[in-house]
Chains A and B, each alone.
Chain A
Amino acid sequence: MPADQSRVILGDDVFKLTEKGQNELRGSATSLAPSTLELLILIDGVSTVSETAARTRTTDNESVTNMLANLLYDGLIDFVQGQDGALDFVDFFQTKGPVKHSVAATAKAKKESAATSALLQQHGYFVRIARRAKTRESADKTGTLTVLVVEDEPHLANLLKHVLADEGFTVRVAKNRDEIVAEFRRPPRPDLVLLDVTLPDADGFDVLQRIRLHPVLKAMPVLMLTAKATRDAVLKGLAGGANGYVTKPFEIDVLIRAVNVVLGLSEGEQSARESGDPWPA
């Protein structure tokens, strides 16, 4: 696809070298200015414009953008349209306006959250809702499933990393907005997101909504992992399309079971019955 030279270059854009750009770097002579050449070397198909700009000695963002525009015009670089065809996270965290859930989704969530309140009273923190995800995919060619843990408490993130890795998952961790976007951008795409709600610079429910609105990520299974255990919070998570809900503090066995059920790796109905879950797959 030819580069769209009329497009405004944004801080979140990602560029890759074209064949012409690669030849320029391999060639013994170049007509590029040293600062432009330095920028060309830094373009790796993964880093955003802002990240690349931060690594250059040209700290002026405007200069970097101008150089990128020239490189684009000369056909030495091109926009990365995204891994797997169409991943584009330019506006993942940009305002899209309030999201309205469908009447059916809200009604269903209300029914579920009412039942959850009863379970919360019955079991205290140790309540979970886990449903089999509608789709199951493995982006990793080795067949290993990847879990993205979105958690800002470092000890908890480490614990999750250990126990999930022990279960045979590849585990990646993100603790804030930038890291979430970076992890979505990075292949392979996660097979499951374990999503905390209270993050330093983001709200997990908002992240969930944005995932469900994203053309590529919308079917990604999301398991809420949060100490927000009120009926309203559970309703918000369910209406927002969470595949499961585990309340903190959690028992490791319960969490692993919920992960396996959501990923379709264990018998949902059996697990649901064992835990008193009223919403079997």
Chain B
Amino acid sequence: MNDDELGRAIDKLRADYAAQLPHTVTQMEDLWRCIVAAEAPLVRQAELIRMAHSISGSGTTFGIPGVSRAARALELFLDPFGMSGVLPGPAEQETVLALLAALRQAAVSR
């Protein structure tokens, strides 16, 4: 594979990554809604944290640093709740919603 081919392959991967981000954020929003409504078990909070962690660790590599930062903020906020296995209180839930909204904004306005 020459440099042009590699460049094109990486561009395509970046485009694919960026294209699926809003969908991933939707999944995260749905999961959060279900956890808060007790429609999903609280242990699935760890799944949400893992999704945020994954985006945090990949966004910048794919040229979307804002997404990494937003996902990192969500991950750091939720991590203590995930580790202690408790649901954030009403005020903290508002913060989670705001962080998810920021993540969505970063994902769509790249």
Which A positions have Cβ atoms within 8 angstroms of B? 125, 152-153, 155-156, 158-159, 162-163, 165-166, 198, 200, 226-227, 248-252
Contact = CB atoms under 8 A, between A and B. Distances in A.
Given A163-B6, A165-B1, A249-B68, A198 B50 contact: yes
Contacts of B13: 155, 158-159, 162
6 contacts: A155-B58, A159-B13, A162-B9, A166-B1, A249-B57, A249-B65
Chain A interface helix/strand/loop/mixed: mixed
A159 B72 CA distance: 21
Contact of B10 (A125, A162, A198, A251): A162
A210 B58 CA distance: 26
Contacts of A163: 6, 10
B17 to A, nearest CB: 4
A248 B6 contact: no
Nearest to B5: A166
- Residue from A155, A166, A226, A252 with most neighbouring chain B CB atoms (10 Å): A155
A168 to B, nearest CB: 10
Interface in B13-52: 13, 16-17, 20, 50
A159 B9 CA distance: 8
A153 B57 contact: yes
Contacts of A250: 61
A226 B61 CA distance: 12
